[in-house]
Amino acid sequence: MTTYSAPVEDMMFLFEHLRDNKNYNEIERYKEINTDLVKDILQEAAKINQELIFPLAKVGDENPCVYENGVVRTPPGYKEVYSKFIEDGWTSLSCDPKYGGQGMPKTVSTFFEEMLSSSSLSFKLYSELSLGAYNCILHHGSEEIKNRYLPKIVEGKWSGTMCLTEPQCGTDLGLIKTKAIKDGNSSYKLNGQKIFITSGDHDLTENIIHLVLARIPDAPKGTKGISLFLVPKFWVYDDGTIGSRNGVDTSSIETKMGIKGSSTCVLNFENATGYMIGPENKGLSSMFTMMNLERIVVGIQGLGISETAYQTALNYSKERKQGKANNNISTDTDLIIKHADIRRSLMNMKSIIEGERSLAFWMSQQVDVSLNHPETSVRKKASEIVGLLTPVIKSFFTDMGMEITNEAIQIFGGYGFTKDQGVEQLFRDNRITPIYEGTNSVQAMDLVFRKITEKNVFESFVKNIDDEIEISRKNEKLNRHITNVFELKDTLLNFTRWIDPKGNTPKNDISASCNDYLKFFGYFCLAFIWLKILRKSYENYKSNKEFYDEKINTGNYYFDKIIPRADSHYRSAISGSKFTMGAKFN
């Protein structure tokens, strides 16, 4: 059986001790978000996740969404838990109080995102896209639109979707065909088909607010001619009440290898009324407000599923007896957790997961600064760091999620392959995360061709590392870790110079190496954050020796055992692309 107990202690460690972003701590409204309050929230969050949402994971896998007579039904129990979920206000956690939200910072809501991902990704997705829609409308919608739609979305009574993909276009949004034509009012009529629409239809909310990319007549070709529209499933009158159906129909749902409790829809827009969000032909950039935050959240999904896989495998390894460990001279068999090779697997998971959680927390502070700091220049700088790390978190966390769920199955042996144990579901559920919201290849290209080309952004990121190294020098126990991070940084700089699209490296060499570069970047970021965790662990050591001993042990493991992987990506990349491009594939 899968096991999940929310890692509140680890989260509180981060909130208490890694909250060292000066700009974050200057944000007035977050000054009152103190340790006690956060602990209360996380404990409540743990409760609903462990008790109500976690059991939905298996239910959803065994009773996938059903599409019948044009209607999508979610798995048994989803409706009841969703009601409780919105009644307790969980959809509004990080939203603006102006629209009914609780105004919590990302530093807190990201923990909640992780817990939800650990409990049931399928269930989570119904509210996750609502938050995406909320962000997009909040930043690009008119006052009228915001006032009409946001309160219901924040309350969770209405949900949201992102409608980008069409049969002929996934990664390449320039190929979008859906059309939008002015209908004489302030609205448009939309026609076209969208596929792979998460939560595109379901029975949990009264209305569904679709955010749809489409082309207006005479729009420029490619991505420069795409506009964004808000298309509700049901008409919404001026007073906010709901009318009859709009022209959006579900023609089918996908049968998938995982997240079977989440409905993935084919939506047909037939003269559907929509309202333009943001300026004409600038839809893609508005949508990216939603996409960018979503991408971080997808990374958190990978982290969350990894945590459940780890806990489940750990639990099993404390129950299953098999063979004898090296130091056993008795005739009894040992629990498998005594075996060095099982411990290696568990420590791989643990050191990566705790590093990721810390990096996500560090990043959340940057997100909060980028959204809420009073000074524009500070916001901008934080926003750039967020932009730089978004593809890394999205891809690295989800790829590691595959490694970790895979290792968890392996620890179960033959039982891991059976449905009964549930651990294989985590492996299947996680498999979507390296794909959706931009495949991990697209993320890697985004990192290389768009993000690192902003020299000052990259330099400002490196300054964070240098600062950490500088402070850590005070503790000589960190000497070897500093040396490690320093060497890695050196390679990162060389790698970055080599792969810089503005440099002399042939473009195919660069394209063929983006994936390796991103992986290197990921391992590097975790090394940086582990250095910080180690420093904080020594600083606070006396307050909780048991906790910090384990942290220090885990950090050391990361430096010894995981970091050696990074270099191979560099060496593979710089060998160029002669044979990659030379293949005939006949």
Contact pattern for a copy of itself over residues 303 through 342, marking x by CB under 8 A:
-----------x---x--xxx--xx---x-x---x-xxxx
Select from 3, 193, 285, 439 the one that contacts a copy of itself (CB under 8 A): 439
CB of 199 to a copy of itself, least distance (A): 15
Region 182-211 residues binding a copy of itself, contact defined as CB under 8 A:
195-196
Please compute Rg for the chain using Cα positions: 24
Select from 73, 282, 428, 489 the one that contacts a copy of itself (CB under 8 A): 428
CB of 424 to a copy of itself, least distance (A): 4
CB of 435 to a copy of itself, least distance (A): 6
Both tokens of 32, joined, read 């009152």
CB of 297 to a copy of itself, least distance (A): 18
Contact flag: residue 3 with a copy of itself (CB under 8 A): no
Taking the alpha carbons at both ends of the chain, their separation in whole angstroms is 46
Contact pattern for a copy of itself over residues 138 through 177, marking x by CB under 8 A:
---------------------------x--xxxxx-xx--
Contact flag: residue 504 with a copy of itself (CB under 8 A): no
Contact flag: residue 255 with a copy of itself (CB under 8 A): yes
The answer to whether 226 and 249 are in contact (CB under 8 A) is no
Contact flag: residue 350 with a copy of itself (CB under 8 A): yes
| Residues forming the active site | 437
Both tokens of 291, joined, read 């996409």
Pick from 72, 78, 127, 65: nearest CA to 249: 72
- The site that binds a copy of itself (CB under 8 A) totals a number of residues, namely 95
Integer Cα distance of 356 and 366 in angstroms: 15
Contact flag: residue 579 with a copy of itself (CB under 8 A): yes
Both tokens of 82, joined, read 């969703």
DSSP codes joined into one string, 437-471: SS-HHHHHHIIIIIITTSHHHHHHHHHHHHHHHHH
CB of 341 to a copy of itself, least distance (A): 5
H-run or E-run covering 275: strand 264-277
CB of 347 to a copy of itself, least distance (A): 5
Select from 22, 31, 221, 545 the one that contacts a copy of itself (CB under 8 A): 221
Contact flag: residue 413 with a copy of itself (CB under 8 A): yes
Integer Cα distance of 164 and 176 in angstroms: 8
Residue 235 or 417 with smaller CB distance to a copy of itself: 417
Contact flag: residue 252 with a copy of itself (CB under 8 A): no
DSSP codes joined into one string, 75-132: PTTHHHHHHHHHHTTGGGTTS-GGGT-----HHHHHHHHHHHHHH-HHHHHHHHHHHH
DSSP codes joined into one string, 17-59: HS---HHHHH-GGGTT--HHHHHHHHHHHHHHIIIIIHHHHHH
Integer Cα distance of 370 and 42 in angstroms: 24
The piece of 13-21, 142-150, 271-279, 438-446 that touches a copy of itself (CB under 8 A) is: 438-446
Residue 353 or 363 with smaller CB distance to a copy of itself: 353
Integer Cα distance of 101 and 98 in angstroms: 7
Which amino acid type is present at position 355? G
Region 115-134 residues binding a copy of itself, contact defined as CB under 8 A:
none
The piece of 135-143, 370-378, 486-494, 542-550 that touches a copy of itself (CB under 8 A) is: 542-550
Contact pattern for a copy of itself over residues 462 through 501, marking x by CB under 8 A:
----------------------------------------
**From the CB of residue 144, how many other CB atoms can be counted at a distance below 10 Å?**
11
Residue 234 or 547 with smaller CB distance to a copy of itself: 547
Residue 471 or 552 with smaller CB distance to a copy of itself: 552
The answer to whether 230 and 277 are in contact (CB under 8 A) is yes
Region 377-406 residues binding a copy of itself, contact defined as CB under 8 A:
402, 406
